[in-house]
Amino acid sequence: MSISRRNNVQLLLEQTIGQLEKLGGDFSTESGNMVTLEKRLSEGRFHLAVLGQFKRGKSTLLNALLGEAVLPTAVVPLTAIPTFVQAGQELSVKVLFEDKKHPQEYTAKNSRQLVAFLCDYVTETANPANQLNVKQVEVFHPAEILRNGVVLIDTPGIGSTFKHNTEATLNFLPQCDAAMFLVSADPPITEVEIEFLKQVRQKVPRLFFILNKADYLTEQEKKEILSFIKKVLKEQVGADETTHIFCISARLGLQARGDNDKNLWSKSGLAEVEKYLVDFLAHEKTEALRQAARKKAADILAEVLMQIQLSVKSLQMPLDDLEERLKIFREKLTELRRSKLSEMDILEGDKKRTHEFLEDHAEQLRRKSRAYLKGIFEETFSKLEPEQLSEGAIERSLADAIPGFFEHEAGKSTQVFQDKMQQVLGPHREKLNKLIDSIRQAAAELFDIPYKQVQATQDFEIARRPYWVSHQWARSFRRIPRGVVDKLLPAG
């Protein structure tokens, strides 16, 4: 959807809000709902995650799309903190923290200052294991590609020494609208990437691929590599034969933006990628949002119209007739209240059973965790020579293993909880919608006014950040009891 079309819809919503406010306090709920709807449309964003193995060129690609180097491209891994790059009037950063610490805001004079500031928060070197307790980093930039609602999300590279980064990225993906995955010719695609992609395909609605560093390849080499990657994606990842892979050079793209060279920008392949992002993917998202907003607005206005028609009918109706119909309507409400109480009793029982289900799931996780950590302990013990074996060595092994394991399990547990809540709440949601609908229908029939069924309530949804982001891990923990290591050492 173009900016002008979105603005037209927003203008209509704003005009509607103005008219509803003139109707007075009786319509404050509907007016508030319309304000919320207008805000949702105006803030509509297309969230695009950029994925790739460590040192594939993700940051260079993002910098090229932005037109200058604003994201760190160091050789050290980034943290698992997601960095959201969105539209802004000037170069600035907002760092949000998990604790009550006030957000850190910074306006940069140039991209070099911005990079230096970011490095203090998003690299494992400056902020190991997220010791600063950073929740999220937001970068604001005036780039053209961001003006249509595109938000670029920089994620940590997979396959680095920090396993929790990979797990954190996987758990974050369901909150994105699409993802682009970077590969390159050195090597074309690894086993780590294949395993990662198998999981990615289950979590993200849209996935497309980019072959970076294509400028180092001859046409024949490029053809062979593309054929190989498509074959691997089809046979091992389950991708479609028609999967399109964009061939680019992020390096040339960034150079083209710096030199304002349109021919080089086109040659880099990024002009095609940019067009695809803005004209197709972002358009698809905003068009769906516009359609949903239009339907919801129609439902709100139908509710307003029904209330006005009820008021007019009640004023026109003889008093005796009005009292009789109100009596029938009150009886209907009493009947529905009984149904509501019965439903609340059932819901309370479902709540208790769900709690028991989660307790059982937690106990299974505790057992699995103990077995996993015991395995790490025994593996470390078997690998180290007696003179290398120490309390500190075992502590380090456990500390390195814990984040990735629990990030993975947290993602699985979230999905289990999501599925369970959908299963439990689905029937209750359906009955609630029927109760509300029956009240409206009864009023319409009693007062001889048109009846329009409104859209059902939305599904229950859980949105979560990666556990590694929302929880500050301690790199040390309770000491291993004295003598445990000694007891495991061979006698003599």
For 182, the enclosing helix (H) or strand (E) is: strand 178-184
Q: For residue 47, what are the β-bridge partners?
A: 151
pLDDT in tens, 288-330: 777 777 888 888 888 888 888 878 877 777 887 878 888 888 8
Question: How would residue 472 be classed by pLDDT, with cut points 50, 70 and 90?
Answer: very low
Q: How far apart are CA 370 and CA 388, in angstroms?
A: 24
Q: Is the pLDDT reported for residue 482 higher than 70?
A: no
Q: Is the pLDDT reported for residue 163 higher than 70?
A: no
Average pLDDT over residues 59-80: 79
Q: How far apart are CA 308 and CA 447, in angstroms?
A: 12
pLDDT for res 247: 94
Q: Is the pLDDT reported for residue 169 higher than 70?
A: no
Average pLDDT over residues 459-471: 45
Average pLDDT over residues 426-437: 78
Strand order in the sheet with 104-107: 104-107, 92-97, 134-141, 83-87, 150-154, 46-52, 178-184, 207-212, 245-247
Is residue 225 within 8 A of residue 185, CB to CB? The reply is yes
Q: How many CB atoms lie within 10 A of CB 449?
A: 16
At 9, the amino acid letter reads V
Q: Please give the share of the chain, as a percent, with pLDDT higher than 70.
A: 84
Q: Is the pLDDT reported for residue 95 higher than 80?
A: yes
What's the gap between Cα 176 and its chain centre?
4
Residue 448 is given by DSSP the state T
Q: Is the pLDDT reported for residue 491 higher than 70?
A: no
Q: Please give the share of the chain, as a percent, with pLDDT higher than 90.
A: 18
Lowest mean pLDDT among 172-176, 242-246, 261-265: 172-176
Q: At what angle do helices 283-316 and 3-22 cross, to 10 degrees?
A: 20
Question: How would residue 486 be classed by pLDDT, with cut points 50, 70 and 90?
Answer: low
Helix (H, G, I), strand (E, B) or coil at 68: coil
Q: Between the ranges 74-83, 310-319, 339-348, where is the mean pLDDT highest?
A: 339-348
pLDDT for res 475: 43
Between the alpha carbon of residue 257 and those of residues 79, 144, 151, 269, the distances in Å are: 28, 12, 19, 13
Is residue 140 within 8 A of residue 88, CB to CB? The reply is yes
pLDDT for res 265: 95
Is residue 70 within 8 A of residue 126, CB to CB? The reply is no
Q: Is the pLDDT reported for residue 159 higher than 50?
A: yes
pLDDT for res 297: 84
Q: For residue 180, what are the β-bridge partners?
A: 50, 208
200, two tokens: 């990615």
Question: How would residue 459 be classed by pLDDT, with cut points 50, 70 and 90?
Answer: very low
More confident residue, 17 or 329: 17
The alpha carbons of the chain give a radius of gyration, in whole angstroms, of 29
Q: How far apart are CA 159 and CA 146, in angstroms?
A: 29
pLDDT for res 250: 93
Question: How would residue 492 be classed by pLDDT, with cut points 50, 70 and 90?
Answer: very low
Best CA proximity match to 177, nearest among 312, 45, 357, 355: 45
pLDDT for res 7: 61
The overall average pLDDT reported for the chain is 79
Q: Where does residue 278 fall: left (phi above 0), alpha (psi -120 to 50 degrees), or beta otherwise?
A: alpha
Site of tokens 């046409």: 219
Q: How far apart are CA 288 and CA 284, in angstroms?
A: 6
pLDDT for res 483: 52
pLDDT in tens, 203-243: 777 888 999 999 999 999 999 999 999 898 888 888 877 78
Q: Is the pLDDT reported for residue 286 higher than 60?
A: yes
